[in-house]
Chains A and B, each alone.
Chain A
Amino acid sequence: MTTLSTFLYRRPTLYVALLLIPPLLWFGTVYLGSLFTLLAQSIYSIDEFTAKIVYEPTLATYKQVVTQRANVDIILRTLSMAIAVTIACAAIALPIANYMVRYASPRTRALFYVGVMLPMWMSYLVKVYAWRLILAKQGILSWLLDTVGLGAALDAVLRIPGIGGPSLSSSYLGMFIVFVYMWLPFMILPLAAALEKVPESLLQASADLGARPA
């Protein structure tokens, strides 16, 4: 046993290799392997009659992606939704993260961390169904807005082309709301971690040199 540990201690490269080979094999085959298989399949086409793969290299699939109207629409829609959600998340998360790191007492900070992380432990589907109930045509939100007399305003918003729809849950606006909710923790936590590393004296130095809060 001692000889083995001495042997390994003197050969750090071998030691690291022995430790890393099993996980690397797993990662390489299961993860990267399947990705490369998918990539390889993209240059073949599927026979529409037999649904079998025709092993003849072709770029037809790629051509379809950029020429078919539906595909382009999906790409653009996904991209704009992603951009809008990212901007909204950043706008909401930055003040929260800053408050957590700079102003909250240790107790409040712990509460905030739990509050931010707790929804991440819930299943994605559970959260989505919960939101469907909140946003549905006869759901909590529209009931609430009707009660305070803002039902007409909601209808007006839903009539806006592009973001509206028959109900909140089926509109882009609804999707946007749910996506912001889903991804907010992934914006707050890294921002809080980054802000924590900024020394207090840097903020003081900027104030000292004339930088104002607004």
Chain B
Amino acid sequence: MTAAAIEFRDVSRVYGEVRAVDRVSLTVQAGEFFAMLGPSGSGKTTCLRLIAGFETPDSGSMLLDGRDVTDEPPYARAVNTVFQDYALFPHMSVLENVAYGPRVRGQRKEAWRKRALEMLELVQLGAYAERRPAQLSGGQRQRVSLARALINQPPVLLLDEPLGALDLKLREEMQIELKNLQRRLGITFVFVTHDQGEALSMADRVAVFNHGRIEQLDTPRVLYTRPTTAFVARFVGSANVVTGELARRLSGRAEPFAVRAENIRLRAPAAAANGDTMSCLGDVADVQYHGALSRWQVRLESGEVFAAAVPDTGTNGDFRIGARVRLEWARGDAVPLAATEPS
């Protein structure tokens, strides 16, 4: 068996009192598109910086392709990074920026020039070689940054919220492009993002970070349909998390569970239960129109607010704000969660 592209063994990084990364162990296979997802301050970016070598762990060890790199400086590691702010050198042309890697490694001018032009063609910026970074748009800078990181042919590419600064349309285009690029080059991508949609749509596997630890590491589908903790259920696709007394009343057991908004049906209050379901009564607090779906906020008698995402067919038009409705979902759509979650 070949060695994993990246391996963390009990890695911790502490800043003063804060455990930014807390005993994290993970394995990223070669050729995988791996996403690190979490809110800001969850430790995902620190993990990326640990892989790049900008940070050194306080404890634990890290392996790249089976080799221990825990104490190796960034320039000795076979990884390259696309920075959140792109970090293009402002005093160099686009071509010189892209060629930086081969140039500091002492390649001859003809060689690095040719290689850098190829990389610029790869990201469709061949015509911009002589421009300065300041003369490019955000999306173009992003591509230059990508070309510069790929020119050394790293087996692992790290991307630190690379799409964060782009507008929605551009972001969607870049998502597709990055995915295609990764498939074409066959190298490992490690992608840090706080956008769950981005992580789910692009990654092969996603690690969800919270307070410096991995809450769950799974494929996007498992993560979405079978979250194991309340945090993951809420953060990935904002599911309804049911705890305590309400959970006991609905499911018969005190363990918390999650229900996806799109698995909840809205029915008339008097409607009879249909099949093996759970149901409860509430008042419509708000309706948000999202095109294909409408998101209904329903306040239960016990005070909790449930979200139900219902296809906008017009049939639910009877319910006005303040109207009483019955929420219903199949028993199988209630996903049990780990009971230890306090939030």
B152 at the interface (CB under 8 A from A): yes
Do A209 and B101 have beta carbons less than 8 Å apart?
Answer: yes
A7 to B43, CA, bound (A): 57
CB < 8 Å neighbour of B104 from A199, A202, A210: A210
Do B89 and A211 have beta carbons less than 8 Å apart?
Answer: no
**Using Cβ atoms and an 8 Å threshold, which residues of chain A touch B88?**
205
A204 at the interface (CB under 8 A from B): yes
B74 at the interface (CB under 8 A from A): yes
**Using Cβ atoms and an 8 Å threshold, which residues of chain A touch B54?**
204, 207-208
Given contacts A208-B80, A209-B148, A211-B104, contact A199 B75 (CB under 8 A): no
A209 to B149, CA, bound (A): 7
Do B87 and A205 have beta carbons less than 8 Å apart?
Answer: yes
**Using Cβ atoms and an 8 Å threshold, which residues of chain A touch B32?**
none
Do A210 and B152 have beta carbons less than 8 Å apart?
Answer: yes
B262 at the interface (CB under 8 A from A): no
Mask, A10-50, CB within 8 Å of B = 1, is 00000000000000000000000000000000000000000
Count how many pairs of residues, one from A and one from B, have CB atoms less than 8 Å apart in the complex.
Answer: 57
Do B87 and A212 have beta carbons less than 8 Å apart?
Answer: no
Given contacts A204-B54, A204-B74, contact A210 B101 (CB under 8 A): yes
A208 to B81, CA, bound (A): 7
Within 8 A of B (CB), among A118-134: none
Within 8 A of B (CB), among A157-214: 199, 201-202, 204-212
Given contacts A204-B54, A204-B81, contact A210 B87 (CB under 8 A): no
Do A212 and B75 have beta carbons less than 8 Å apart?
Answer: yes
**Using Cβ atoms and an 8 Å threshold, which residues of chain B touch A199?**
85, 87
A201 to B88, CA, bound (A): 9
**Using Cβ atoms and an 8 Å threshold, which residues of chain B touch A204?**
52, 54, 74, 81, 83, 87
Do A207 and B83 have beta carbons less than 8 Å apart?
Answer: no
Do A201 and B148 have beta carbons less than 8 Å apart?
Answer: no
Which of B75, B101, B148 has the largest count of A CB atoms less than 10 A from its CB? B75
B73 at the interface (CB under 8 A from A): yes
Do B104 and A201 have beta carbons less than 8 Å apart?
Answer: no
B105 at the interface (CB under 8 A from A): yes
Do B81 and A205 have beta carbons less than 8 Å apart?
Answer: yes
A198 to B75, CA, bound (A): 20
Please report the total number of A residues contacting B with Cβ < 8 Å: 12
Specify the chain A residue showing the minimal Cβ separation from B77.
A208
Do A201 and B75 have beta carbons less than 8 Å apart?
Answer: no
**Using Cβ atoms and an 8 Å threshold, which residues of chain B touch A201?**
83-85, 87
Do A209 and B83 have beta carbons less than 8 Å apart?
Answer: no
**Using Cβ atoms and an 8 Å threshold, which residues of chain B touch A209?**
75, 80, 100-101, 104, 148-149, 152
A209 to B104, CA, bound (A): 8
Do A207 and B85 have beta carbons less than 8 Å apart?
Answer: no
A209 to B75, CA, bound (A): 6
Mask, B64-91, CB within 8 Å of A = 1, is 0000000001110001110111011100
A206 to B148, CA, bound (A): 10
Do A210 and B105 have beta carbons less than 8 Å apart?
Answer: yes
**Using Cβ atoms and an 8 Å threshold, which residues of chain A touch B53?**
207-208
B322 CB → nearest A CB, Å? 52
A115 to B89, CA, bound (A): 32
Given contacts A209-B100, A211-B104, contact A202 B75 (CB under 8 A): no
B141 CB → nearest A CB, Å? 13
**Using Cβ atoms and an 8 Å threshold, which residues of chain A touch B100?**
205-206, 209, 211
B55 CB → nearest A CB, Å? 10
**Using Cβ atoms and an 8 Å threshold, which residues of chain A touch B74?**
204, 207-208
Which of A201, A210, A212 has the largest count of B CB atoms less than 10 A from its CB? A210
A158 CB → nearest B CB, Å? 44
**Using Cβ atoms and an 8 Å threshold, which residues of chain B touch A207?**
53-54, 73-75
Do B148 and A202 have beta carbons less than 8 Å apart?
Answer: no
A19 CB → nearest B CB, Å? 33
Specify the chain A residue showing the minimal Cβ separation from B73.
A207
A205 to B89, CA, bound (A): 9
Question: What 7 A-B pairs have minimum CB-CB distances, sorted nearest first?
Answer: A201-B87, A205-B87, A209-B101, A207-B74, A211-B104, A208-B81, A210-B75
Given A199-B87, A204-B74, A207-B75, 11 new contacts (CB under 8 A)? A205-B83, A205-B89, A205-B148, A206-B100, A206-B104, A207-B54, A208-B54, A208-B80, A208-B149, A210-B152, A212-B104
Residues of B within 8 A of A (CB): 52-54, 73-75, 79-81, 83-85, 87-89, 100-101, 104-105, 148-149, 152
Residues of A within 8 A of B (CB): 199, 201-202, 204-212
Sample of 13 A–B contacts (CB below 8 Å): A199-B85, A201-B85, A204-B83, A204-B87, A205-B89, A205-B148, A206-B89, A206-B100, A207-B75, A208-B52, A208-B53, A208-B74, A211-B100
